[in-house]
Amino acid sequence: MRNLFVFAVCTLLTCPVFAADAPTTRPTTQPAPPLPFFFIGVWMQPAKDLKKWKDRGINVAITDKPKPDNSSRASYFAAAAAAGVKVVIYPDPGRAANDLKE
């Protein structure tokens, strides 16, 4: 008798005929919103090493000096752009507005 009861319960739980009505349409999904930018930075690296650091997972190069590797600001920004790295740098002493272009 007990085996018959267990069989009946298992049958009722697994049988799709007795299950609740399934939705007739699939729910629509929307793409997830983009995540905000999260800084993963490295401190005072020369321009020649920015690609290496990008491969390691950083996305920002931070420096408190105008030229961390004695290169020009323009070449440092160009190397960072080529490596896909954003730059947080000391303001340009000549024209701080130039940094806003980068």
Q: What is the pLDDT of residues 45-61, one digit of tens each?
A: 888 899 999 999 999 99
Q: Is 70 exposed, middle or buried (0-12, 13-18, 19+ CB in 10 A)?
A: exposed
Task: Indicate the residue type of 72.
Answer: S
Residue whose tokens read 């340009």? 92
Per the structure, the complete domain to which residue 99 belongs is given by 39-102
User: What pTM, to 2 d.p., does this model score?
Assistant: 0.57
Token pair, residue 50, equals: 């920015």
Query: Which residues are within 8 A (CB) of 87 and not within 5 positions of it... i.e. 6 or more apart?
Result: 60, 61, 62, 63, 76, 77, 80, 102
Q: How far is it, in rounded angstroms, from Cα 89 to Cα 65?
A: 7
For 25-46, how does the pLDDT look when each residue is reduced to its tens digit (9 = 90+)?
Answer: 676 778 777 778 788 899 888 8
100 domain-assigned: yes
How many domains, in total, are found in the chain?
A: 1
CB neighbour burial string for 82-93, b if at least 16 within 10 angstroms, e if fewer: ebebebebeeee
**Is the residue at 77 inside a domain?**
yes
The CA distance from 20 to 10, in Å, is 16
Is 70 domain-assigned? yes
